[in-house]
Amino acid sequence: MTIGDRLKEERSRLGLSQTDLGAAGGVGKTTQINYEKGSGSPDAKYLAAAAELGVDVLYVVTGERKPTAAGSISAQAAEFLEVYQRIDEQDRNVLLRMASAFAKAASVV
């Protein structure tokens, strides 16, 4: 499997269009298509932006997944963490406060 194949796999896993991932990385749809076909390689700036969207850049580049705690947590918790990583800091703070309130309420019952 090539870098382009893995990049396409990650894009699909995250439900992103070629246009959306390309734009986030500062390239157009045609360049994104070329990356996925192996007719070019993304630079560090592109990969850093892709990582911000949740792309496992280590996997894209090396074929090895980054270590996660997924083996020690449920699939639902891992999915929640993945979503949490893709949202902005303000929304993360809202989710944290909400989860803390639910946990506190559950401990009172």
* pLDDT of the residue at 67: 66
**89 vs 54, 72, 96, CA distance in Å?**
14, 25, 10
Which of 72, 103, 69 is CA-nearest to residue 85? 69
User: What is the DSSP annotation of 1-22?
Assistant: --HHHHHHHHHHHTT--HHHHH
pTM above 0.75, yes or no: no
pLDDT tens per residue, range 59-109 = 999 998 866 654 567 778 878 888 888 888 899 899 989 989 998 888 876
Q: Dump pLDDT digits (tens) for 5-40.
A: 999 999 999 999 999 999 999 999 999 999 999 999
Domains of the chain with bracketed CATH:
3-62 (1.10.260.40), 70-108 (no CATH)
DSSP at 33: H
